[in-house]
Structure 1
Amino acid sequence: MSFRGDHLEEGKSAKGQSPRRNDVSTFWSSPEVVVLTQKVFAEIVGTYFLMFIGCGSFVVDKKYGSVTFPGMCVAWGLVIMVMVYSVGHISGAHLNPSVTITFAIFRQFPYSQVPSYIAGQLLGSLLASATVYMLFDVEQKYFFGTVPNGSNVRSLVLEIIISFLLMFVISGVATDNRSTGELAGIAIGMTILMNVLIAGQVSGASMNPARSLGPAIIMHEYKGIWIYIVGPTVGTILGGFAYNLIRFTDKPLQEIAKPSMILRTFTGSSRR
């Protein structure tokens, strides 16, 4: 930073601003920060409406009986499909901390942006949960979070399986250039619908720590909450790893099975 004349006070610029203030202003106006802010805001909005529609359909059904369980499954599937097409080209439409973490592990997303994405997803979930809670005057018996129905182990295994399937599909339609990208929203939405249909009555079919943490914090219900942090994260990592193994379809089996190849697959491969 240059200074004009000796009459300026030490540490002041020609416009009377300190270098620190200019540095801060430059930081917040830099293209990288602006783009990241746009992405995080897209994650907040996407997660908000994912939670508002999904959890709202549950509350409406429990209070008024007009949605039915298949209707709730469709609501979850449709809203994720709509959000993928709405903000997918901006932020990637992760809307899920476990998905963000998995993308980072396999070098398909920068580690530096992981905390910002997760913070945005949790904020969106909290805002949507608070909106549903206040708008519908939700009683504790209508808790719209996720709690295990039966043993914790059964719900944990189920969350791992359905999260594996979700990430396997996401990896196939969103990270592989050989797939038809225009169908990504439909494929992911249908996967969510199927998973909720089979697991919704047992584990709640979370597949997403933000989906479970928002309602839990707003309504102070933390029964089995660890299941919905561990299960989806383990499942998505395994699903991402499985797809990255079969991504190398043009290589002989002996080469794929080499420890060095498996290690490169686990740490991430270049997008083909």
Structure 2
Amino acid sequence: MVFHDADKLTSDAALDPLGLVAVAVAHAFALFVGVSMAANISGGHLNHAVTFGLAVGGNITILTGLFYWIAQCLGSIVASLLLQFVTGGLSVPTHGLASGMSAIGGAVMEIIITFGLVYTVYATAADPKKGSLGVIAPIVIGFIVGANILAAGPFSGGSMNPARSFGPAVAAGDFSQNWIYWVGPLIGGRLAGLVYGDVFIASHSPLSTFSDYA
């Protein structure tokens, strides 16, 4: 089957119910694979907010986190520009709020869902008491991202990741709402790092508990 008008596949990137499910499932599987592939090399850091939350909890150094941030931003920008190129210059959709959703409301939504993501990362991958949960950590992390996209996608876009929003914004040249996807996820990641990292596993040995995943 040949599609002669590719942009109609997503109705100009409108997040209809079918498209939302497709986005959620694609992200869940892609993150599962991405974390699994990178786990033994870099720890599988694919997300600014996760990296920040782990730094807050003492699992990585701030300097290491900065290097991860640079790599994550570059990866997102290159991927977005490559997508624009291979689709013949079609516009790359950026994250944005639903009609009637305030900027503060969107940021709060991103705080909540990112907290859930980073908390899950801590519980399944970073906690030294994780046991057998560490084996399935990548797929659990993928599942929570997929679930969060289904829940928050119609409202704030369900980003949870500043890098994920930054690359498309660069490719599209549209930064009008991009700050929401930095402020919300970074606050959510920090809160999860403080709650789980500094409270629940405060006695763990720094820099030694997140060597397997995320």
TM-score by length of 1: 0.66
* Distance in 2 between residues matched to 1:59 and 1:195, nearest whole Å: 26
Letter in 1 for 2:23: M
Answer yes or no: is 1:119 the counterpart of 2:70. Answer: yes
**Alpha carbon RMSD of aligned pairs, Å?**
2.3
Answer yes or no: is 1:182 the counterpart of 2:135. Answer: yes
Answer yes or no: is 1:219 the counterpart of 2:172. Answer: yes
Question: Partner of 1:148 in structure 2?
Answer: 97
Structure 2 unaligned segments of length 5 or more: list them: 1-6, 210-214
Letter in 1 for 2:93: F
Answer yes or no: is 1:77 the counterpart of 2:28. Answer: yes
Answer yes or no: is 1:61 the counterpart of 2:61. Answer: no
Q: Percent identity?
A: 32
* Distance in 2 between residues matched to 1:90 and 1:114, nearest whole Å: 15
The alpha-carbon deviation at position 84 of structure 1 amounts to 1.1
Question: Partner of 2:49 in structure 1?
Answer: 98
Letter in 1 for 2:94: G
TM-score by length of 2: 0.82
* Distance in 2 between residues matched to 1:189 and 1:269, nearest whole Å: 25
Letter in 2 for 1:217: V
Question: Partner of 1:192 in structure 2?
Answer: 145
Answer yes or no: is 1:205 the counterpart of 2:205. Answer: no
Question: Partner of 2:184 in structure 1?
Answer: 231
The alpha-carbon deviation at position 212 of structure 1 amounts to 0.6
**Range with greater deviation from structure 2 (159-168 or 115-124):** 115-124
Task: Give the alignment partner of residue 244 of structure 1, picking from 197, 201, 210.
Answer: 197
Residues 9-62 of structure 1: per-residue CA shift (max 9 Å, x gap): xxxxxxxxxxxxxxxxxxxxxxxxxxxxxxxxxxxxxxxxxxxxxxxxx99534
Letter in 2 for 1:92: G
**Count of paired positions:** 194
* Distance in 2 between residues matched to 1:111 and 1:171, nearest whole Å: 17
Structure 1 unaligned segments of length 5 or more: list them: 1-57, 249-264
Residues 159, 207 of structure 1: 8 Å contact kept: yes
Structure possessing the higher radius of gyration over alpha carbons? 1
SS in 2 for 1:200: helix
* Distance in 1 between residues matched to 2:199 and 2:123, nearest whole Å: 10
* Distance in 2 between residues matched to 1:101 and 1:77, nearest whole Å: 21
**Hey, which bits of structure 1, 4+ residues long, moved more than 6 A?**
none
Letter in 1 for 2:106: S
Residues 57, 196 of structure 2: 8 Å contact kept: no
The alpha-carbon deviation at position 244 of structure 1 amounts to 3.0
Residues 52-87 of structure 1: per-residue CA shift (max 9 Å, x gap): xxxxxx99534699x732121100111000111111
The alpha-carbon deviation at position 269 of structure 1 amounts to 4.1
The alpha-carbon deviation at position 222 of structure 1 amounts to 1.1
Letter in 2 for 1:213: F
Question: Partner of 1:253 in structure 2?
Answer: none
Question: Partner of 1:48 in structure 2?
Answer: none
Question: Partner of 2:119 in structure 1?
Answer: 168
